[in-house]
Amino acid sequence: MIARYVIIIIALLIAGGLLITRRPPIARAEPPPLTFSLVGDIMLADRVGAVAKVKGTGYLLAGVKDILTNDDLTIGNLECAIATVGTPAEKQYTFRADPAVLPGLRAGGVEAVSLANNHTLDYGRDALLQTLEHLTKSGIAAAGAGRSLTEASRPVLFDIKGRRVAFLAASRVLPSTSWYARTNTPGLAAAYDPARLLREVKGARATADVVIVYLHWGIEQALTPEAYQRKLARQCIDAGADLVVGSHPHVLQGFEYHKGKLIAYSLGNFVFSNHDRHTAILQVTFGEDTPAARIIPCAIVRYCPTPTHDPAARAAVLRDLERRSYGARIAPNGLITPVP
């Protein structure tokens, strides 16, 4: 009789939720890692475009295609208009590429570009609008330029492996205020007053899992950033950026960590009309833990980025980059880590 009462009491406790029973923990699947490749200036005009048309559009990125097509997203800075219209601006260098060479960029693994730089409007607004159209047709996303200020400023969003990635771009190097995007005027996203950029970064942080900011800034050929660049990069991270990448100096600059987030001040040229120039691919993998970053040294050979396989040459590039960095260490395998 007592046993029967005990059984009844236990049943009532279970039904009422008063008896805690051990259950196996629910296994939560970790999100798959995302690997991004970041590269510097891509210029498809003049001699570069002429060689690409002769050798085929796959020529320019043939040496790095395996790297760029085996990641989740590749982003670079497109340093030219892609158009057949317009007249050259009154400036020293103006770049306009034949749209026929553009498909090779996408086939080589580049999925997104920044247009916020001092060459996108070299041939005027009509050429800019054509550039946007040709990029869309080629399946390449563009940030930092648009048909209005709103379009130029807003992030490009990607949904990759169940996570949302936001990509924003802006420039601190523009020939004239006439290049600025306005409310109803095509143009570029400027960052001289970073308030709007920082608002966009904060907004992207609210909905995205990873936020990448690409900035055109600094002084050409300078091996170290200006004080304003270090300040702006930190402001972007404080606003919610996970990674800040720069271009414009045409040379490789160093790295810095702020609040555990990486800043790459300049990735130099990538596809360009100079030879034997050092360049690199920055790869950052976002997983469950702290993002892992590594640099892959390359050289520009006949306009094409080509991985550097010589151990001594690789080591020299990595040593130089570490010397140019701020509180960042670069291992012989290219792994970038903050100094403890």
Give the model confidence (pLDDT) of 256-275 as tens digits. Answer: 999 999 999 999 999 998 76
Mean pLDDT of all residues in 63-82: 98
| DSSP letter string, 68-124 | HTSSSEEEEEE-SEE-S-----SSS---EE-GGGTHHHHHTT--EEE--SSSTTTTH
Tell me if 199 is assigned to some domain: yes
Band (1; pLDDT cuts 50, 70, 90): very low
| Residues above pLDDT 70, as percent of the chain | 91
Residues with Cβ < 8 Å from 40, sequence gap 6 or more?
76, 77, 247, 266, 267, 268, 269, 270, 279, 280
Give the tokens for residue 218: 């600094």
User: In the predicted model, is pLDDT for residue 16 greater than 50?
Assistant: no
The model's pLDDT over 88-98, given as tens digits with 9 standing for 90+, comes to 999 999 999 99
- Counting the structural domains of the chain, the total is 1
Tell me if 49 is assigned to some domain: yes
User: In the predicted model, is pLDDT for residue 25 greater than 90?
Assistant: no
Domain CATH for 115: 3.60.21.10
The model's pLDDT over 275-312, given as tens digits with 9 standing for 90+, comes to 658 999 999 999 877 899 999 999 999 999 999 999 99
Tell me if 126 is assigned to some domain: yes
Burial of 163 (0-12, 13-18, 19+ CB in 10 A): middle
Give the tokens for residue 204: 């992207």
Contact status, residue 138 vs residue 185, Cβ threshold 8 Å = no
| Residues above pLDDT 90, as percent of the chain | 87
Tell me if 78 is assigned to some domain: yes
Residues with Cβ < 8 Å from 76, sequence gap 6 or more?
38, 39, 40, 41, 42, 110, 112, 113, 114, 270
Tell me if 251 is assigned to some domain: yes
The confidence score (pLDDT) of residue 277 equals: 83
Cα–Cα distance between 125 and 59 in angstroms, integer? 30
Cα–Cα distance between 282 and 336 in angstroms, integer? 10
Rg (Cα) of the chain, in Å, rounded? Answer: 24
Per-residue CA distances from 321 to 104, 141, 202, 314 (Å): 30, 30, 30, 11
Tell me if 332 is assigned to some domain: yes
Band (13; pLDDT cuts 50, 70, 90): very low
The confidence score (pLDDT) of residue 30 equals: 73
Tell me if 20 is assigned to some domain: no
Give the tokens for residue 325: 């960095």
Tell me if 300 is assigned to some domain: yes
The confidence score (pLDDT) of residue 31 equals: 78
User: In the predicted model, is pLDDT for residue 19 greater than 60?
Assistant: no
Boundaries of domain holding 117 = 32-338
Mean pLDDT of all residues in 171-185: 97
